[in-house]
């Protein structure tokens, strides 16, 4: 792919309407374009990042045995009346009348619809547990959408739902998602902390938010430094191992401002370990028992007895994560971004010096591009006629993790290669490829 042919509309300066750095950067390098208040189109660069995040989220759901389905965006109001949430939800719910004057809505979440699917399909406790997820667009009609895709109206979300026979089994399901979320955020190169949280309009009595640290976060967080050392890599998908993991986290105080209690914080956390900072919510899990299954009559037969199933729900903001990663990784003072390799739009930018009437460098680039392709390294060639330093500045912003310069200084088979803002090495192309491939494995 040549940069001149790609649809990446770069702005010279930060757009004045953007107040936080993810919004600035995404508009600046043409990842998104606003189409109306709080509603965005995803251009190729932003789309690639979001798709890679989506795929990691999907793989980590599949890994704990959740089955993927896809529910529609437009729902009937009927099921929301059954659960009792139709009136509660307020103006954030986008209500629609179709041509037959039926009351419809754009789903802000899917507890009702998935319960309806479950109750019409599953009759026996022998088919439990059932864990289902989908990744679909949602709509919340925010009064004041802002901060780009961080607080927008149409957003892309993974939401999962669990159905179990009793509290004990349901907690096992809950803990599977707890582990799955830690794994997901780790693959995105984010350190996310699970925090006890309020349940809000979803309801229930057990809930964790997963929060990543960022100065621009909306949530104040209070925690214990030692929580960052808790390790989940050896946790197994069995009840005891998952319980142990939960316990390890629960040893440390860790809440958002909603649940903050200064006395408790100071009593439980020695001064040298206290962390008081801001964070961004990237995931939220809930256990709410029969809150939906009871009013909606979702029950199974258990040896002749009717049991309402115990449910939980589990969300990850897929589109929001694109912004959250920028908030965590972007140095806006020096205008330097570096995407985690696992979600970078390309792995390497090939940056040639272009001389008029001389195609030598472009031909070199084409060969390198093909070689990279054969190694599953995605690259993009900057064939524009900007000078090298302007190109490097541009790619520092775009955040492709590696840069390979094809310039005058190329000596024989050696090229200047570096990580974004890193030290330059002179390497031949095979060594460049093996460095990138090695990093991909981590």
Binding site for a copy of itself (CB under 8 A): 4-7, 9, 30, 33, 35-37, 39-44, 47-48, 50, 65, 67-76, 78, 91-92, 94, 96, 98-100, 102, 104, 106, 113, 116-117, 120-122, 126-127, 130, 132, 137, 139, 141, 143, 153-154
Minimum CB separation of residue 117 from a copy of itself in Å reads 6
Give, for 39, the enclosing helix (H) or strand (E). Answer: strand 39-42
Minimum CB separation of residue 71 from a copy of itself in Å reads 5
Q: How far apart are CA 265 and CA 255, in angstroms?
A: 9
Helix (H, G, I), strand (E, B) or coil at 145: coil
Minimum CB separation of residue 320 from a copy of itself in Å reads 15
Q: How far apart are CA 286 and CA 290, in angstroms?
A: 12
Minimum CB separation of residue 290 from a copy of itself in Å reads 20
Which of 150, 169, 107 has its CA nearest to residue 21? 150
Q: How far apart are CA 343 and CA 82, in angstroms?
A: 41
Nearer to a copy of itself, 74 or 390 (CB): 74
Q: How far apart are CA 174 and CA 161, in angstroms?
A: 10
Which pair of tokens denotes residue 322? Answer: 């694109």
Nearer to a copy of itself, 94 or 157 (CB): 94
Which pair of tokens denotes residue 231? Answer: 């390790």
Helix (H, G, I), strand (E, B) or coil at 269: coil
Nearer to a copy of itself, 131 or 197 (CB): 131
Minimum CB separation of residue 187 from a copy of itself in Å reads 21
Give the Å distances, CA to CA, from 171 to 218, 242, 287, 406: 29, 10, 8, 56
Minimum CB separation of residue 35 from a copy of itself in Å reads 6
DSSP string covering 85-101, please? Answer: HHHHTGGGSEEEE-TT-
């Amino acid at each position: 792919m040549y940069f001149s042919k790609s649809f990446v509309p770069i702005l010279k300066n930060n757009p004045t309407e953007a107040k936080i750095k993810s919004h600035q950067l995404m508009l600046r390098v043409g990842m998104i374009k606003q189409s109306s208040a709080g509603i965005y189109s995803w251009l190729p660069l932003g789309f690639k990042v979001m798709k890679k995040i989506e795929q990691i989220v999907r793989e980590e759901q599949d890994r704990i045995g959740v089955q993927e389905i896809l529910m529609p965006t437009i729902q009937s109001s009927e099921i929301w009346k059954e659960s009792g949430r139709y009136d509660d939800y307020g103006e954030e719910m986008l209500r629609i009348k179709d041509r037959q004057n039926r009351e419809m809505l754009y789903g802000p979440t899917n507890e009702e619809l998935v319960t309806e699917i479950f109750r019409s399909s599953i009759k026996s406790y022998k088919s439990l547990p059932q864990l289902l997820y989908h990744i679909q667009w949602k709509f919340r009609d925010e009064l004041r959408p802002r901060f780009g895709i961080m607080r927008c109206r149409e957003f892309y979300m993974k939401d999962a739902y669990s159905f179990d026979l009793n509290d004990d089994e349901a907690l096992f399901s809950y803990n599977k998602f707890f582990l799955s979320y830690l794994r997901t955020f780790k693959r995105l190169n984010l350190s996310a902390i699970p925090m006890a949280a309020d349940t809000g309009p979803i309801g229930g009595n057990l809930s964790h938010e997963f929060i990543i640290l960022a100065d621009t976060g909306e949530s104040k967080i209070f925690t214990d430094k030692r929580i960052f050392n808790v390790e989940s890599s050896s946790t197994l998908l069995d009840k005891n191992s998952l319980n142990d993991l939960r316990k390890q986290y629960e040893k440390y105080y860790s809440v958002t401002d909603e649940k903050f209690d200064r006395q408790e914080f100071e009593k439980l956390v020695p001064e040298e370990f206290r962390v008081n900072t801001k964070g961004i919510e990237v995931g939220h899990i809930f256990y709410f028992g029969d809150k939906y299954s009871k009013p909606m009559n979702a029950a199974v037969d258990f040896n002749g007895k009717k049991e309402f199933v115990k449910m939980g729900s589990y969300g990850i903001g897929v589109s929001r994560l694109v912004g959250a990663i920028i908030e965590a990784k972007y140095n806006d003072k020096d205008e330097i971004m570096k995407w985690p390799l696992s979600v970078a739009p390309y792995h390497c930018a090939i940056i040639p010096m272009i001389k008029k009437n001389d195609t030598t460098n472009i031909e070199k680039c084409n060969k390198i591009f093909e070689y990279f392709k054969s190694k599953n390294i995605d690259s993009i060639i900057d064939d524009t006629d900007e000078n090298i330093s302007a190109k490097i500045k541009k790619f520092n912003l775009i955040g492709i993790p590696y840069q390979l310069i094809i310039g005058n200084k190329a000596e024989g088979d050696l090229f200047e290669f570096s990580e974004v803002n890193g030290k330059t090495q002179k390497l031949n192309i095979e060594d460049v490829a093996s460095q990138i491939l090695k990093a991909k494995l981590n």
